[in-house]
Structures are given as C-alpha cells and as structure tokens.
Structure 1
Amino acid sequence: MAVSPAQRASYANDHHTKIPFEKSPRALAGPGDPRHVTHALLASGWTLTSAPGDPRITLTGPDEARHQMAIDPFASGSPWRIQSADWTWNASFDRMVPAEIIAGFTDGLLHGPRRGDIGPWEHMQKAGWAVERQPDGTGQALSPAPELPVRVELRPIFNDSSDHFAWRITQPDHIGMPVWKMWISGPVPDHLMAGLAEQLVSDAPVLRGMYDLDHYSARQEPSLLTPQQAVEAHFTRIDAAQARGRSQRRTRLTTRLPAPAAAPAAAAASSRATRP
C-alpha cells in the first residue's frame, strides 16, 4: 500500500508553514511527526488494517512478515506498540520517543539484518559514549556531550524476569521521571535494537517546527532548509522506501517461481546429443 497523493498532500499542508529548526541531541528533541515512521512502512508495502474512522492506527506487514504496529492515542503510557508476526516479542515506546529513533527500529523490519552490523552497546561505544555493562545483561551509557548529557539505562521491568526490559533515557541531573522509556518483551532481533541505537547516538540534528515546544531543553538552531525543502526530504525518504519495497517483492517473487521447463525441441536435441 503506497502513500497516496492525499496523504502526501496532507503532510505537505501540515509542514509548508513550519519554519524548520534543527534540534539536538536527538534524544531530547521530542516526538516529531509520526508519519516519519508510518509513511515509510506504507511505502514499503505495509497495509492499514485498522477500522475506518478509528483513531487507533494499525499497520500490518506484507507477505510472511506479518509484523504489526499500532499507534493508540488513548494509551496512557506507550502509544507506540510493535508486535512480531509470531508473537515472540513486542516493543512499546512512550509518547516522547523521537520518531527518528523509532524509525531506526522499524526500518530494520524493512531492511533486515545488515552485514557487519554491531549491537546497540557497541554503537554507543563507537560514538564515544561511556558504557557500563553488567553480567546480567543490563547496563547504562552516558553520552559525551558535556552541556546536554543523556544517560541510557537498560533495566528489568520485573525483578524476577530476564526477558522483560525497559530502556530508559534520562538526564543525569534530572530528578523524577525519565525523559522517555521503551519497553521490550521477548527476544527482539539484534538488528532492530542496533538500528535504534544508531539513530539514538547520531550527531545529526533532527528537524522540528520553530514553535514546537514539545521537547526536553534540546538545543535548537534555524535550519538552512526551507519548509518546502524539508517536505521534499520527507518525500525522498518514502520514495526510497517504496523503491526498496518493490525490489524486495520482486526478489521474493522470483525465488518462489518454479524453474522454466525445457522446450520440447531443445530437450529432444539434448537427448540425441547424449546418445552413444
């Protein structure tokens, strides 16, 4: 299911008057536009399976990859929920998780594992974060930015469970609730967490509207992009996702087709050539 002209027009209409500002670090930039995630999924062949008029959005993956993603505005804690096709794992993101970081996770569902990829903690170390791991698999990492540091924590949700974890983003001097949380249940594939971590530690700022105040004290500077250029950058992303999805579907179809049978004349000639 491609992104329709009406959906493109709606996105452009929502952003054509927003003066783009660059915000960093991206972990503190606020949620942004969820269509950064959903449009890429639709362009890649996912289908909108929720009932018309239902404010809860459900997208389902194509073919055998029947993963499911839901956005529930009524959910108090985690409006984003992603469920594996075989129900072995699920992930939930709370409202303040930046869409670009969620896209690092969901894009992995579209691309699959990448050759030579590294794990989430290794991505943090490579980016200069100070990482502390524990024997039980939990840990924490502190970003190198001295003016706006961010701490990542991985903790068990329940004390007696080793397969239910919460990734928390906090500010070291912050007292109270973390900036945002992500909940993991079951064996989420490593490449999905690696994609999320790669987006989390990226130094590249994310675009937000000039008066978008839904963030945690992130730095913001005017972008060199015009509103139209910011919209075109979004369309370039979803067009690339659509082209990649078509290529993957053609590859899957080719591998499923039976080998063509030999033509009768060619088969007879081959049989005569092999006779003594």
Structure 2
Amino acid sequence: MKQQQRNGPGPTHQQAEQHYLVEPRHLAGGGDLRHVTEYLRASGWKDRSKRRGPIVFDSPDRMVRVGFDPTTPPGGWAIRAKATSHQEAWHAILGPQVPVEIVAGFTDALTKPRSAHAPNVWAPLQGWKAEQRAHFTAKSPDGNAFMQFHRSAPGQAHWWAGARTEHGRIWDATFTPTTPMHLLQSFSSALADPQPVMRPRGHIPPSNRIRTTSVSVLPSELGAWQQARIAAARAAAWARTSWATTQPRKTPAASTHASRTGSVR
C-alpha cells in the first residue's frame, strides 16, 4: 500500500503505519470493538452504554441487547434476546478474545432480515474435519478451532465454539439451544472465512501458530475501509425503513365517502 503523494506546499504528508494481516483469523485476538459497535449504531441500534461502564446496544425494537464487559465473569460479549410470539428467548456468550470479525458475523446478522432459505450451520465448514463422539465436532484444517453440537434431549441442541494455541484455550463461545439457526450459520461463516484480518503493531497474540504479513497503511485508508462498512449498514437500514414507510395504505375514509355517495338517490 503506497503512501499518497501531493504536489506543492501543504499539510504534512500522512505517515503510513505498520499493521499485520493475521491468519488464521480465529487466532488473531479480539481486535477493535468498534468493528461491531459502529455497525450496530449505523444500523439504528441505540447506544445505552454508560461512561466508563460496559458497552450496551439495544435493537430498535428493544428485543435484543448486545453488551461487552471484560470485567464481569465470564467477560466478553453477551447477546440476549427476549421471547416473541414466534421465537423463544435466547442468549449467547462470546469471550473477549473472540476476534471482532467473527463476533460481527453473528451481530451483523441481527440487523438483517432472515433469509427464506433453511439455515445450515455446517455448510460454511466444508473442508473442516468432522468427528462424531459424544458430541458432533467440526475442526478447522489447522486443528486450532472447532464448532461443536450436542443434543442432550429432544429440542435441546447445545452449540459451542472455541480456539486454542500452544498456550491453551484462548476463547470460547456458547449458545443456548433456542439460539436462531440462521445466526449460528452466520457465526460459522465468519469463523471459517479464510481471509486474514488486520491488526496494528503490538496487538498480535504470542503464538507460533499465527502467520503474519506486514503491511504499511495510511490512516486515511483505514478510515475509508471503516466508513465503507458503516455506509453499508446505513444504506441497509435506510432501505428497510424506506420500504416500511412506502407501503400502500388503505383509505377507509375515501371508501366510506364513495359508499355514501353511491347510496344517494
């Protein structure tokens, strides 16, 4: 990535900053929380966070809450949904070291309409190694991440995910049996995505199982990438709102008037 050049006098040129492309992404560490929160904000979610307190965002209908609190055990992300007429209450807990790009796979899906297609959590994990023991488990090609399923009773399907390095388990994610399947599929898609993720210098977890590529990035480039993601969220939110407000409405007053007019003799 080349530094931009300008001719003639003017402000000091931007200085490129060293970042790293990290792979596999499931070992990249937590990352910048704004990758998740700014997308929610742009999608119309309400920021309920208190100063110096946990991060809290509520969905526009107040039925789902996304929070991040590294201080209260078990720490990390807590996503909770209230029961509705067609969906039982559910919650998910994702540890603080779950990469934000994987968290966003789950939370971004909360802001979008559910697909008409039947979800399949395992479909994105093609190429992962399947193991059938007490649990059904899919392991990543490098053996360092997993997605796991266990049915303890009819209607009780438990889901877990996690990753480890040579230092032991680095993060876990747990989902209640009532967690919507399309959200789990979005999570597994982000988990299995082969694309590396970017981290600034000094934010690379210590592990010999991580591969890094050094890149020089201008602050303006980082800002443009972040704004593109936010703009996409705003556009999707605007489209949903616009569609809802432009639906044809019935005009009972006009119908009544026509009926009365026709009855006059």
Same fold (TM over 0.5): yes
2:58 paired residue number: 60
Question: Alpha-carbon deviation of 1:133?
Answer: 4.5
CA contact (8 A) 2:18 2:216 kept: no
Moved more, 223-232 or 40-49: 223-232
Q: Which of structure 1's runs of 4+ aligned residues deviate more than 6 A?
A: none
Give the secondary structure class of the aligned counterpart of 2:213: strand
Whether 1:166 aligns to 2:163 is no
Moved more, 77-86 or 96-105: 77-86
TM-score with structure 2 setting the length:
0.78
Mapped partners of 1:23, 1:251: distance in 2 = 39
Q: CA RMSD in A?
A: 3.3
Higher strand residue share: 2
Deviations 1:154-201 (CA, angstroms, capped at 9, x unpaired)? 266x99x94554322235xx4x74221001123111111111111111
Residue type of the alignment partner of 1:77:
P
Fraction of identical pairs, as percent: 27
Within 5 Å, give how 1:1-276 maps onto structure 2: 18-50=17-49, 52-63=50-61, 66-86=63-83, 88-116=89-117, 118-125=119-126, 128-133=127-132, 138-144=135-141, 148-154=142-148, 162-171=156-165, 174=166, 177-214=168-205, 216=207, 217-223=209-215, 225-255=217-247, 258-261=249-252, 267=258
CA contact (8 A) 1:22 1:223 kept: yes
Higher helix residue share: 1
Q: Which consecutive unaligned segments of at least 5 residues does structure 2 have?
A: 1-14
Deviations 1:207-240 (CA, angstroms, capped at 9, x unpaired)? 1112213364421102364332122111110111
Residue type of the alignment partner of 2:221:
Q
Deviations 1:71-122 (CA, angstroms, capped at 9, x unpaired)? 1131232321000132711001111100000000011101132344642212
Deviations 1:36-81 (CA, angstroms, capped at 9, x unpaired)? 000000100100123x324212110002x62001111312323210
Structure 1 residues 90 and 122, CA gap change in structure 2 (3 angstroms) = same
Q: Which consecutive unaligned segments of at least 5 residues does structure 1 have?
A: 1-15
Give the secondary structure class of the aligned counterpart of 1:111: coil
Mapped partners of 1:267, 1:207: distance in 2 = 65
Mapped partners of 2:215, 2:119: distance in 1 = 31
CA contact (8 A) 1:19 1:227 kept: no
Residue type of the alignment partner of 1:232:
A
Residue type of the alignment partner of 2:73:
S
CA contact (8 A) 1:141 1:153 kept: yes
Give the secondary structure class of the aligned counterpart of 2:57: strand
TM-score with structure 1 setting the length:
0.75
Moved more, 106-115 or 200-209: 106-115
